[in-house]
Amino acid sequence: MEFAALAERAERVAANDGDIETTLAVADLLADAGGAADDGSTDDLPVVVRFLLGRVFPAHDTRTLDVGPALCREAIARAAGQNVSAADVEDRLAERGEIGAVAAEYDLGGQRGLAAFGSGRDALTVAALDEELRDLAAASGEGSESRKRDALFGLFTRCSPSEAAFLARLVLGEMRLGVGEGTVRDAVAEAFLASPAPPEEDGATGAEPELAAPDDAVAAVERALQVTNDYGRVAVRARDEGVAGLREESLRVGRPVQAMLAQAGTATDAVDAFGEVAVETKFDGARVQVHYDSGGDDGAGGADAAAGGDGALGPRLYSRNMDDVTEALPEIVEYVAERVDVPVILDGEVVAVDDDGDPLPFQEVLRRFRRKHDVDRMREAVSLRLHAFDCLHADGDDLLDRPLRERHDRLRAVLPDAAADLTLADDPEAIAAAERAALDAGHEGVMLKNPDAAYTPGDRGRDWLKRKPDVETLDAVVVGAEWGEGRRAELFGTFLLAVRDDGGDASDAAERDVAGRDAAERDAADRDADAPVPAGYATVGKVATGITDEALADLTERLEPHVVDETGTTVAFDPELVVEVGYEEIQTSPTYSAGYALRFPRFVGVREDKEVDDADSLARVRRLAGDD
């Protein structure tokens, strides 16, 4: 498939208004891309699926392009001509709001491309672009940034406007097609597993579009995605082998899956829903998924071991977002290798502990998590301990569909020393007693789980409930800031916080506003409220308390590359960073777009283990405020 055809079809997909129309358009595209490559040519289907989701590699693959917004702007500027600078591209980006529209406006692949490379070059194909981007991702070491810029420049000079828009969005993972994972799941089922529609009768009027894939086909696609985390692979298997082939997909040690997540809930909620409740300690640590297959070896290779011909895989550790953090946690690697003698996939948390083994605050874990340098020195400074609470695979058995109580038995069998305690309770008082014991031991609280529930990767359902003490914190996204003053003039000093607004609208509380306020009050509120706020987010307050000079410097360094608007001393950011904030209470307020404001917010730390999609929601703010 030519890349131009994909880019043009993607534009048509984005133009659809309804969910069903979008799904059907994606299904048609996948069916066209998925014409089996019987002639030995490259199969475009898995690449097209990943590209539509803004990925070059499967979700479980730890490789990245490592192309940031600045490098992308520089490549576009270079391809646009001698009279265009990266600053010009940045200015146009501020006007247009997204990089694809900017790339499409420049004549990147027209006369500039001819001048740079001459005529006669073949059109870009999907397969060729995929290969080029994989080569770009592999560039490392001295001069790699320059090589990436050169490679991206070369690709842009071969692009039509629609191709340039698609490419710019793809390398930054910002597709803006209205195509999410659920859309692709349904489209795969529709493209390859639905029965052909009957021909329309003569004179029949056009009916409303509808999906034809049966429920069991959609469920088979969903299940295969849960265990593989690879949309391209699942699409190919659906096309080639149908539902039967999808049902043969299974977990693989060394290929991480999405973590099962919890909702907030009370002890009464749990007892009412489950009857008997599995109560676990909620650790104040970082989520980690443990994969290990000694292959008969003793695992001494540790983090440096790789999958060999005998199937051996040294312990690999993956974060909640499926990043490989093995190298940062050598003592956990050693611990697992010394104690586990069968292939396993475990779910758990890594907790920082003091010399007596007592838990330390979450921020201490973050000093170790994802660290690439000075690992040995930090190991001496901060000790870590693994607490495993679930077993997804053991000794050749996939356990996702087994009840929690059975999975926990298998966990105790394979790693008893690290298995978290699980107790059963059927009344709120017993749960409260377990919570007090967990808090007294220095932990965060308790988890309340359905002991008969399966493990559902990526699901935030009601089978797991997280119960915390009454004093809550909020995980918010930083969407703006104000420059500091005096000795902090070169640093951001106050940060604008937002939560996810999945409903796309502000709280009812915001509409109780403003009729009673005079114009001066409203103007002051408007100035105080926001810099431009990204779609899908609602602001809840500003935080400046609790941030050390060191933390301010770190936050400034991390956020400054993501500035999208600057007016006076106020800046706005693309949503990139999640921070944990404490507060005294949540009040109704028209000042912020959520309709609520955090009272006396204080900075707790950066949530290194969370992406912006994992931040707290406006719905949770409403619940905490007692309005829902």
Q: What is the pLDDT of residues 315-373, one digit of tens each?
A: 999 999 999 999 999 999 999 999 999 999 999 999 999 999 999 988 899 889 878 88
Residue corresponding to tokens 């247009």: 96
pLDDT of residue 554: 94
What amino acid occupies position 367? Answer: R
Q: Which of 169-183, 289-303, 518-532 has the highest mean pLDDT?
A: 169-183
Bridge partner residues of 2 (DSSP): 125
What does the longest C-alpha to C-alpha distance in the chain come to? Answer: 81
Average predicted confidence (pLDDT) for the chain: 87
Q: Where in the chain is the domain with CATH 3.30.470.30?
A: 261-467
Sheet holding 460-467, edge to edge: 261-264, 460-467, 445-449, 277-282, 422-425
**Position 474 pLDDT exceeds 80:** yes
pLDDT in tens, 219-233: 999 999 999 999 999
Topology of domain 261-467 in CATH is D-amino Acid Aminotransferase; Chain A, domain 1 (3.30.470)
pLDDT of residue 115: 52
Element holding 525 (H helix, E strand): helix 519-529
Contact 453, 404 (CB under 8 A): yes
Tokens representing 176? 């803006």
**205-218 burial, b if ≥16 CB within 10 A, otherwise e?**
eeeeeebebeeebb
Mean pLDDT of 455-482: 88
Number of H helices and number of E strands within the chain? 22, 19
Q: What is the DSSP letter of 206?
A: P
Count of CB atoms situated within 10 Å of the CB of 620: 18
Tokens representing 307? 């999958």
Distance CA 557, CA 578 (A): 15
Return the higher-pLDDT residue of 72 and 34.
Answer: 72
Query: Which residues are within 8 A (CB) of 148 and not within 5 positions of it... i.e. 6 or more apart?
Result: 65, 66, 67, 71, 136, 139
Q: Where in the chain is the domain with CATH 2.40.50.140?
A: 473-625
Q: Which of 27-41, 228-242, 299-313 has the lowest mean pLDDT?
A: 299-313
Q: Does domain 473-625 have CATH number 2.40.50.140?
A: yes
Residue numbers annotated as active site: 282
pLDDT of residue 97: 87
pLDDT band at 307 (very low <50, low <70, confident <90, very high): very low
Mean pLDDT of 281-307: 68
pLDDT of residue 109: 67
pLDDT of residue 204: 56
Return the higher-pLDDT residue of 424 and 585.
Answer: 424
pLDDT of residue 509: 43
Provide φ and ψ at 507, rounded to 5°: -65, 155
**Position 491 pLDDT exceeds 60:** yes
What's the distance, Cα to Cα, between the start and end of the chain in Å? 50
pLDDT of residue 371: 83
What amino acid occupies position 474? Answer: L
Mean pLDDT of 263-282: 92
pLDDT band at 101 (very low <50, low <70, confident <90, very high): very high
The model carries a pTM of 0.71
Q: Which CATH superfamily is domain 66-173 in?
A: DNA ligase, ATP-dependent, N-terminal domain (1.10.3260.10)
**Position 528 pLDDT exceeds 90:** no
Mean pLDDT of 591-609: 90
Contact 432, 470 (CB under 8 A): no
Contact 260, 459 (CB under 8 A): yes
pLDDT of residue 277: 97
Q: Where in the chain is the domain with CATH 1.10.3260.10?
A: 66-173
Closest by CA position to 130, among listed 80, 72, 63: 63
